[in-house]
Amino acid sequence: MAKGKGTKLIAQNKKAYHDYFIEETIQAGLSLVGTEVKSLRAGKCSLKESFIRMENGEAFVYNMHISPYEQGNIFNKDPLRPRRLLLHKSEIRKLTHESQAAGYTVVPLKVYFDRSLVKMDIALAKGKKLYDKRDTIAKNDMRRQAEKDFKIRNLTL
């Protein structure tokens, strides 16, 4: 990635697309310390088992694992500490109101660098039932098979 330009993906929560119907996505900033940013530049981040909770008019992401920076010594923080999300008050109010509806939750989707800033895409999502997951898997398998058949048919011509 060129310095100061473009975006660089750090981590992605693929399981969220499997477990939830994604209704709406919002870009949020992350409040981090210096050693955490250096560790993110090395790509050492995991969103597995992470979730977002609204508390006292603020949004926090929990269980997001950022590995300690090797040269960070005493400045390293706890890898699983709650990190504050930087959102507008209106966005927080909207997410709080909508996540209190039955079946809705707020989940992190991906963490990336937008130019030099660390950003996170979060989504308002509705949980899938087991039969919905099976249906999604079947549709993806059919789509992959159709693409494979199309590719084979075009190669033989």
Residue-wise pLDDT tens digits, 78-100: 778 888 999 999 998 888 888 88
Closest CA to 48 of 91, 111, 124, 4: 111
Which tens digits make up the pLDDT trace of 129-153?
A: 887 788 888 888 899 988 888 877 7
End-to-end CA distance of the chain: 40
Amino acid 108: pLDDT: 92
157 band by pLDDT with thresholds 50, 70 and 90: low
Report the predicted TM-score, pTM, of the whole model to 2 decimal places.
0.75
Helices (DSSP H) in 7-77: which residue ranges?
A: 14-19, 34-41
Domain architecture of the chain: domains with CATH? 7-128 (2.40.280.10)
Helical residues (DSSP H) of 63-129, grouped into ranges:
89-99
